[in-house]
């Protein structure tokens, strides 16, 4: 049963995805991702000597540092603050965990790979767009990964059969519960699952399955963009 959504999509339909790599000249790898109006840009630097804030360097593996910023104009409403708030820190840490499952840090011991992203417009699923952009940027940078990481959210608004894939901002705000899945599609492994709100076992399962189908679409979009960027 499909319920019409604000933008005319069906419940299991994702918004159009746009991926472009090679967008930041000085970065080792970079990507720009759009999930309809949500826009994220990500640059990857390294492996390189870590910043001055690192107290201990590991000799058997490298560090993966993630920093995500929300532009002051990313959300509607008054101008945001430039300094990193708690929301940005948490965002960065979720993206870090999602990528850690894939990045093979043993291939760059002692050094650091920096993943810097900026959310230019937040219109729902910024987290997913950021993880996708980071995956593509890391891949372009040549950082060894077990697989590309894709992410997608399944949201539960109230009402029966009300699981929505890839909620837009209005839908996210109205949802009572949500599951964001960071998934490595080729491996068939989840690197992270973040669930908010209350779920019963079965509906959580459904939500994760729905999110996984969305991840497959993101993965396909990432691979297409990356493949077309490799010189023949």
Partner 1 sequence: MAAVKLEACQPDPDAPDRGFLDVVVEFPPMCSASTRPGRPNDDAHFVARRIEDALLDSAAIDKRKLTIKEGLWAWKICLDVYCLDHDGSMLDAGLMAALAALRDAKVPHVIVDDRGKITYGGRKTDTESSNNTAVEGKIEVAAAPVAVTTALYRKHLIVDPDAEEEQLADATVTVTMDGATVVGVHKPGGTAEASETDLMHCVAACRLNLEARAKAIDAAFA
Partner 2 sequence: MTAPVLPGEPLRHADEVRSGPGTYVRGKSVVAAVMGHARTTPAADDADDKRPLVEVIKGPVVTGDATGRGGGTLLPEVGDEVFARVLRINPRQVWCEIVAVNGKAVNDASGFQGIVRQQDVRATEIDKVDMYESFLPADVIRAKVLSLGDQRSYYLTTARNELGVVQAKSPFTGEPMVPVSWQEMMCPSTQVKVSRKVAKVD
Residues in contact with partner 1 by CB under 8 A are 23-27, 30, 41-43, 45, 51, 53, 67, 69, 71-73, 78-79, 82, 84, 114, 116-118, 120
- Give the closest residue to 176 by CA, choosing from 150, 159, 197: 197
Count interface residues toward partner 2 (CB under 8 A). Answer: 37
Q: Counting contacts by CB under 8 A, is residue 226 touching partner 2?
A: yes
Q: Taking CB within 5 to 8 Å according to partner kind, which of partner 1, partner 2, none is near residue 104?
A: partner 2
The one among 4, 16, 77, 231 contacting partner 2 by CB under 8 A: 231
Q: Counting contacts by CB under 8 A, is residue 147 touching partner 2?
A: yes
Q: Counting contacts by CB under 8 A, is residue 124 touching partner 2?
A: no
Q: Counting contacts by CB under 8 A, is residue 143 touching partner 2?
A: yes
Q: How many CB atoms lie within 10 A of CB 214?
A: 25
Q: How far is the CA of 174 from the CAs of 9, 23, 43, 78, in angstroms?
A: 16, 34, 32, 21
Tokens of 201: 């076992």
Q: Counting contacts by CB under 8 A, is residue 221 touching partner 2?
A: no
Q: Counting contacts by CB under 8 A, is residue 107 touching partner 2?
A: yes
User: Partners of 121 in the beta sheet?
Assistant: 39
Q: Helices in the chain by DSSP H: which ranges?
A: 86-100, 126-141, 169-174, 201-229
Q: How far apart are CA 59 and CA 29, in angstroms?
A: 24
Least separation in angstroms between CB 166 and partner 1? 24
Q: Which is nearer to partner 2, 16 or 59 (CB)?
A: 59
Q: Which is nearer to partner 1, 23 or 144 (CB)?
A: 23
In the chain, DSSP assigns E strands to: 17-21, 29-35, 38-48, 63-70, 112-121, 150-156, 163-165, 177-184, 189-196
Q: Counting contacts by CB under 8 A, is residue 148 touching partner 2?
A: yes
């Amino acid at each position: 049963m499909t319920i019409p959504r604000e933008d005319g999509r069906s419940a299991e339909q994702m918004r159009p995805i746009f991926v472009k790599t090679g967008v930041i000249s000085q970065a080792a790898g970079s990507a720009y991702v759009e999930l309809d109006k949500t826009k994220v840009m990500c640059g990857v630097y390294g492996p390189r000597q870590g910043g001055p804030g690192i107290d201990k360097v590991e000799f058997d593996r490298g560090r993966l540092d993630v920093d995500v910023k929300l532009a002051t104009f990313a959300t509607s409403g008054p101008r945001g603050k430039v300094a990193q708030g708690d929301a940005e820190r948490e965002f960065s840490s979720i993206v870090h965990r999602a990528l850690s499952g894939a990045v093979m840090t043993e291939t760059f011991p002692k050094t650091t790979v920096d993943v810097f992203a900026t959310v230019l417009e937040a219109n729902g699923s910024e987290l997913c767009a950021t993880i996708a952009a980071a995956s593509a940027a890391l891949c372009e940078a040549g950082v060894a990964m077990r697989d590309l990481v894709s992410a997608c959210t399944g949201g539960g608004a109230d009402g029966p059969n009300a699981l929505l894939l890839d909620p837009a901002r209005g839908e996210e705000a109205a949802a009572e519960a949500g599951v964001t899945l960071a998934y490595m599609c080729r491996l068939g492994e989840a690197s992270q699952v973040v669930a908010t709100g209350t779920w019963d076992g079965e509906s959580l399962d459904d939500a994760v399955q729905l999110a996984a189908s969305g991840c497959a679409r993101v993965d396909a979009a990432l691979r297409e963009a990356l493949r077309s960027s490799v010189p023949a």
